[in-house]
């Protein structure tokens, strides 16, 4: 089975992001890491390869710094990689990123494409769905379990309210993987050394498509304090407090 895993490099969760001068993205000098939902997609691909054979190819679109997470994925066990390189892809919308990935992946004819459910930075949850359309693949989202049955799949999807849904679908297909589907593995020293010898194919970003969405402005959430004194007797203050918690803070029903 030939499996592709789309991974994205995102700002590190624990860092305090600094905005660029235009205030439309974070500084490129800041720390970046692999998108966590994509890490679960990678782990699921590695497990499917162990069960059914084949290869795992990681695909990523972004500037040159993306090579860091590509090497990390190779160290965890992926066989090779495709890097669609372009500075404009760092903060591009889901349509532009999907078009860039599709152009580089189409000739590979993958049996299965896995992506994380969404990215930790922009959180579109649309790149995988649009990529499926561009590649002409059937797809399922919010997948919690994957079973390969010959030339078909049986996948478990997470629905609202604690419900789940089992769906049968043919191969080739694309799945967006929910975080927590499995237990992540980490790169070993042997894997890190082996990653240096694995092939990374560079692909030029296609002609820039017209974005459907633009970031107008980013800002760091502002912290503020507002203290209000409640007057009257203890009983009156208690009633006023309950009313504010119910009507203004909406933490009581």
pLDDT digits (tens, 9 = 90+) for 18-55: 787 887 777 766 788 999 999 999 999 999 999 999 99
Mean pLDDT of 144-163: 93
Bridge-based pairing of strands 173-177 and 55-62 is unpaired
The domain ranges of the chain are 2-204, 223-253
Q: Name the percent of the chain lying above pLDDT 90.
A: 66
pLDDT at 169: 95
Question: Cα–Cα distances in Å, from 186 out to 40, 74, 76, 192, 250?
Answer: 11, 11, 6, 10, 42
- State yes or no: pLDDT of 178 exceeds 80: yes
- What class, spelled out in words, does domain 2-204 have in CATH? alpha beta
How far, in Å, CA of 125 to CA of 134, rounded? 16
* Predicted confidence (pLDDT) at residue 208 exceeds the cutoff of 70: no
Q: What are the distances in angstroms from CA 169 to CA 137, 146, 154, 175? A: 10, 11, 6, 11
Who has greater pLDDT, 154 or 21? Answer: 154
| The pLDDT of residue 149 is above 90 | yes
Mean pLDDT of the chain: 90
More confident residue, 210 or 198: 198
The per-residue pLDDT for 29 is 67
User: Which among 35-49, 201-215, 218-232 has the top mean pLDDT?
Assistant: 35-49
Q: Which of 2-16, 140-154, 187-201 has the lowest mean pLDDT?
A: 2-16
Segment 104-129 shows an average pLDDT of 93
Of the pLDDT bands very low, low, confident and very high (cuts 50, 70, 90), residue 205 is confident
Is 76 strand, coil or helix?
Answer: helix
pLDDT of 119 > 80? The answer is yes
Treating both helix axes as pointing N-terminal to C-terminal, what angle do 94-105 and 127-135 enclose, rounded to 10 degrees? Answer: 40
54-81 per-position pLDDT tens digit: 999 999 999 999 999 999 999 999 999 9
Contact by Cβ (8 Å): 23, 217: yes
Residue 82: strand, helix, or coil: strand
pLDDT of residue 27: 77
* Backbone phi and psi for residue 116, each to the nearest 5 degrees, phi listed first: -70, 160
């Amino acid at each position: 089975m030939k499996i592709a895993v789309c991974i994205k490099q995102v700002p590190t969760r624990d860092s305090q992001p600094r905005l660029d001068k235009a205030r439309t993205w974070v500084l490129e000098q800041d720390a970046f890491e692999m998108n966590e939902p994509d890490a679960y997609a990678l782990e699921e691909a590695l497990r499917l390869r162990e069960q059914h054979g084949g290869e795992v190819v990681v695909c990523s679109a972004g500037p040159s710094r993306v090579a860091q997470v590509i090497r990390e994925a190779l160290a965890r066990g992926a066989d090779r990689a495709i890097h669609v390189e372009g500075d404009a892809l760092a903060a591009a919308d889901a349509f532009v990123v999907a078009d860039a990935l599709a152009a580089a992946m189409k000739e590979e004819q993958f049996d299965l494409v896995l992506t994380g459910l969404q990215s930790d930075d922009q959180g579109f949850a649309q790149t995988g769905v649009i990529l499926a359309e561009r590649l002409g693949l059937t797809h399922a989202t919010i997948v919690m379990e994957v079973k390969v049955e010959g030339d078909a799949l049986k996948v478990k999807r997470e629905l609202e309210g604690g419900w789940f849904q089992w769906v049968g679908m043919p191969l080739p297909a694309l799945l967006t993987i929910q975080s927590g589907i499995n237990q992540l593995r980490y790169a070993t020293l042997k894997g890190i050394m082996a990653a240096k010898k694995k092939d990374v194919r560079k692909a030029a970003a296609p002609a820039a498509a017209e974005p459907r969405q633009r970031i107008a402005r980013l800002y760091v959430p502002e912290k503020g304090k507002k203290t209000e004194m409640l007057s009257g007797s203890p009983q009156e203050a208690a009633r006023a407090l309950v009313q504010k918690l119910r009507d203004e803070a909406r933490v009581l029903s």
